[in-house]
Amino acid sequence: MENDALSQILNALQMRGTVYFHTDFSSPWGVEVPNYSNVARFHMVMRGSCFVAIAGLSDPIHLSTGDLVVIPHGVSHVLSDIPEREADELDFVLSRSGYDGTGALVYGGEDEFGSCKLFCGHFEFEEGVTHPLLAGLPEVIHLPNTQTMNADWLDSVIRFVSSEVLGEKAGAGAIVHRLTEIIFIQTVRAFVDLVGDQAGSLAGVLDPKLSRSLNAVHSNPEDNWTVQSMAAIAGMSRTVFAERFNALIGMTPHNYVTHWRMQLAHRQLAKSSETIIDIAEAVGYGSEAAFTRAFKKQFNVTPGIFRREAKSIS
């Protein structure tokens, strides 16, 4: 399972799922969630309904029981019982409600019949690490209950996560983190099933043919990859492969190989004690000079300076 393209990418991005809280909001209510980089926020409606207004998008989205919304780039947004409700900042809500990190976040008015129970969290990615998959994500992924309630995976995962959050047993935190990562992966799959090639890089990563080539590049970055060799693994002609790869992934096969190698090197330089030449060879460069040129072009800093800065921060 760890060898599929999506798993390899998410491992390289160091994705980690986190649950903030489950809510019990009663009308009238409105909560403004601030912008936060390197995260994809998510909200699942467990009961009731609400609206989410996302910065940069004109129309609020109506969410009903079973709906799941993911905000991939962590932009600010407002959750509320009705559109254009005056919203309180999240920090104020947490303080005013007396929420201490346990139990439900209770907030709003006295209308119990207008209550909304949400399951909220985010998927976090390591700072400084990038991938076309992240850049190609839309501003919002909305899976209506017709997509989620018919999906046994989501129902089972959400129920399990909810029981762990409510039970607060030993080890619950680790379990919840792992399960929220499953939510992200399955959301990506469901989104691609819903919109097809319009999902761009997501569709490319999950494409049966392109993913075979990506798997090989990810597993053996040191190989001498060419468009022809990648196309052969995908079982496609060179021309068709290059055109489809570029259309979905958003870069040429050659540029993708370079990008992937640099992301691996970035991680190794920051976290390992291997020599620069050993790292260079591991990602496909025969000389430290060639590796240094490629790394500086990608990150605007030499590998040596980057490593010293990374070690000083840690």
pLDDT per position as a tens digit, 21-72: 889 999 999 999 999 888 899 998 888 999 999 998 889 999 998 888 999 8
Rounded mean pLDDT of the chain?
A: 87
In this prediction, residues 71-92 reach a mean pLDDT of 94
pLDDT at 1: 43
Half-sphere exposure of 175 (CA within 13 A, CB side): 16
- Give which of 248, 64, 85, 87 is closest to 143, Cα–Cα: 64
Amino acid at 289: A
In a domain, 202, yes or no: no
Domain end point (choices 196, 230, 245): 196
The larger pLDDT score, comparing residue 125 to residue 106, is at: 106
pLDDT at 13: 84
In this prediction, residue 165 has a pLDDT band, given cuts at 50, 70 and 90, of: low
Torsions phi, psi for 34 (to 5 deg)? -75, 165
Q: Which of 58-67, 99-108, 171-180, 209-218 has the highest mean pLDDT?
A: 209-218
The domain total for the chain is 2
Q: What percent of the chain has pLDDT over 90?
A: 54
In angstroms, the Cα distances linking 200 to 15, 74, 215, 282, 284 are 20, 19, 18, 30, 27
CATH number at residue 215: 1.10.10.60
| Residue 32 shares a structural domain with residue 176 | yes
**CB-based burial of residue 208 (10 Å sphere; 0-12 exposed, 13-18 middle, 19+ buried)?**
exposed
- Rounded Cα distance, 198 and 178, in Å: 28
CATH number at residue 14: 2.60.120.10
Provide the terminal-to-terminal Cα distance of the chain, rounded to the nearest Å: 31
How many H-runs (helices) and E-runs (strands) does the chain carry? 14, 11
| Residue 173 shares a structural domain with residue 131 | yes
In this prediction, residue 172 has a pLDDT band, given cuts at 50, 70 and 90, of: low
Asked if pLDDT for residue 93 goes beyond 90, the answer is yes
| Residue 278 shares a structural domain with residue 189 | no
Nearest-10 crossing angle of helices 5-12, 208-219: 50
Helix (H) or strand (E) holding 31: strand 30-33
The larger pLDDT score, comparing residue 149 to residue 279, is at: 279
Domain coverage including residue 152: 5-196
| Residue 234 shares a structural domain with residue 264 | yes
Which structure tokens are listed for 24?
């019990």
